[in-house]
Amino acid sequence: MIRLQEHSASPIYEQIVEQLKALVAKGAMKAGDKVPSVRELSSMLLINPNTVSKAYQELERQGVIQTVRGKGTFVSSNEAPRMAAERLEALQREIRRLAVEAKSLGLSEQQWEERIRMESRTLWGDERAAD
């Protein structure tokens, strides 16, 4: 369900954050679903519980999951994402950076937007199909 890349530039806790957000975005996990406990996931991934804990705390800050004391951690109903203003700003900055990288690689506008659409389809496509 979650797979770590050992020699990745991004830290382990960030990989967990990204992948869990991806699972929720894709609909593989839905509001109310139980997330593995800190100890469970840490032993599954063979990493320290503190590292998982750090990832979960970041996910809670962003409103993706919610912890219930003594019971566990659950996917939250993501109607009101947290820190939306800051995250939208960061998103736009990163899009700008990637567009520069794309052009720097010699991609045309059409090629760049085609690559975007490839990812859009896998995320939003199913919903459109369901219409």
In b/e form, how buried is each residue of 86-112, taking b as 16+ CB within 10 angstroms?
Answer: eeeeeeeeeeeeeeeebeeeeeeeeeb
Q: Which x/- pattern over 98-117 shows residues binding a second copy (rule: CB under 8 A)?
A: xxxxxxxxx-xx--xx-xxx
76 binds DNA (CB under 7 A): no
19 binds DNA (CB under 7 A): no
**Chain centroid to CA 46:** 21
In b/e form, how buried is each residue of 48-65, taking b as 16+ CB within 10 angstroms?
Answer: eeebbebbbebbeebbbb
Subset of residues 5 to 64 that bind a second copy, contact rule: CB under 8 A:
6-7, 11-12, 18, 21-22, 24-25, 61-62, 64
Given a second copy, DNA, none, residue 74, with its beta carbon under 5 to 8 Å by kind, binds a second copy
Name the residues that contact a second copy, by CB under 8 A: 6-7, 11-12, 18, 21-22, 24-25, 61-62, 64, 66-69, 74, 76, 78-79, 81-88, 91-92, 94-106, 108-109, 112-113, 115-120, 123-124, 128
